[in-house]
Amino acid sequence: MTITIPTTTLSDALALTARATGRSRPILAHALLAHGVLTTTDLEIRVSVAVGGGKAAPVLLPHGKLHAIVRSVSGADAVTITPGATTTRVTAGRGSWTLPTENPGEFPDAGEINVTPLVEFAASNWIALARQTVPQVDTESSRYALGGILLERDAGELAAVATDGRRLVAVRFPCRGDKRSAIIPARAASIIAQAAAADPDAVVSIATTHAELLATVGPVTVHRSEEHTSELQSRFGISYAVFCLKK
């Protein structure tokens, strides 16, 4: 069964999912196209984008090679993908390419995701939040809280706080809901902002548990599962960030 996807849709999806390809295992350099959704993961962050193209059987393709092909045919209306037993044919415009395929069953499964909604943002608000907070985190620090953005919902507003231990930035937005907080890793926040910039009319929905983050932006889903993506970490809250500044 052939899969036909508008070129711009596939190009945008490949650009975003490139943020979550991995190098630790060869299979992580591939993109899974299954049931109209393109997915990549580096085992820390998983990015999925609905691209359409029908409900064809899953196919696992080398992300970098497919991305290069799609960039080279930007003038074509659509890209057609025809999976075979060991190879997949990609056609667009007057061009045709053959790519190797891997067993889709080897692609890491996300497993069961059970999260609780935390907050919803207009896309423009999340972009503003990320622009002000992401540059302030310390991604090299061994202290987890310094590599993320604290979202704390309380008293009718949501505070987003980031610090590198020397400077602190706090951004506030109106928000309804009971007191609750979570730390969003800076890289995940940046990927969500990139998705929001591509769909400025979308709503950014953030849901978390003690160990997971799930964000949706229009056709995009960003999932991060790790022990440290945790509300337990945010018990220190803004006071922990202030403590880091005092140090």
At residue 134 the predicted structure's pLDDT band, cuts being 50, 70 and 90, is very high
Dihedral angle over CA of 89, 22, 147, 123, nearest 10: 10
At residue 226 the predicted structure's pLDDT band, cuts being 50, 70 and 90, is low
pLDDT tens-digit profile of 64-86? 999 999 999 989 999 999 999 89
Angle at 155 between CA 121 and CA 127, to 5 degrees: 20
What residue spans of 110-185 are helical by DSSP H? 123-133
Of 28-32, 109-113, 231-235, least confident by mean pLDDT is 231-235
Q: Which residue has the higher pLDDT, 57 or 3?
A: 3
CB neighbours of residue 204 within 10 Å: 26
DSSP 8-state symbol, 92: E
| 28 pLDDT above the threshold of 80 | yes
- Which tokens in the block code for residue 156? 């009718």
> What is the structure's pLDDT at 153?
86
> What is the structure's pLDDT at 241?
44
At residue 53 the predicted structure's pLDDT band, cuts being 50, 70 and 90, is confident
